[in-house]
Amino acid sequence: MNSTVEYKKIIESFRNYDIVSRITSPAGQLFLRHDVDFDLGLALDMARIEHDMGIKSSYFIMLTSSYYNAMCAKSTETVKEMLFLDRDVLLHFDPSCYVDIKEGLRKEKELFSQIYSIEPDLISIHRPGLGEIDIGVRHANLREYSWGPKYFSDTNCLWKHGYPEPQKDMRTVQLATHPVWWMIKGKNEKEKCHNFIKFRSLKIDEDLKKSLKTYV
């Protein structure tokens, strides 16, 4: 999980599949799902790569992230570009932010629609340790989501469910990734996190120089 080169190789191995942004069949589809936990700009870079490859995918954005402001002008422009690249942009929901999970989700869906003019008919759950919770809306973490596809995820920069590969019976596959693990260099989670901190520090430095004439 070191580079975009490996990511492209994984996707190319599924070229016999129909690469989709929604699952509609129990066989023959690769559902590409990206949970954007850390940086919208990195997600956009990944979206550009996929667009050049001619494949579909869905990006799930958090309204409660500690690392980016999904509601600022820069973020909305980034989302517009992702939509221009024909990416699906949907809601990545963190239930730990709320006592009343269903009410929290209702408010976030409403806000998401107001900001991006998109109705999030499918969501993904951040750190779904609650299992198959009933939150009153279809979500990509359900085991039975669209006939139970084979599931692969790069959570914590590890393939805990095995390395992604086409299934012998062409069983539909859900591949859940996080752009930061592919767009930031490093051999493991620790290295990538350190390099992400450096990456963000440089961005903050650049932004300060643009905003403050007295900052050098």
Where in the chain are the domains?
4-183, 188-216
At 136 the pLDDT is 67
The continuous run of DSSP H or E covering 53 comes out as: helix 40-53
Round the average pLDDT of the chain to a whole number and report it. Answer: 90
Tell me yes or no: is domain 4-183 CATH 3.20.20.370. Answer: yes
Q: SS3 breakdown of the chain: % helix, strand, coil, rounded to 5?
A: 40, 15, 45
Q: Is 24 helix (H, G, I), strand (E, B) or coil?
A: coil
Q: What percent of the chain has pLDDT over 90?
A: 71
Q: State the Cα–Cα distance between residues 54 and 165, nearest whole angstrom.
A: 19
| Residue 144 predicted with pLDDT over 80 | no
104: phi then psi, degrees, rounded to nearest 5 = -60, -40
- pLDDT tens digit sequence for 148-182: 789 999 989 999 889 999 999 999 999 999 999 99
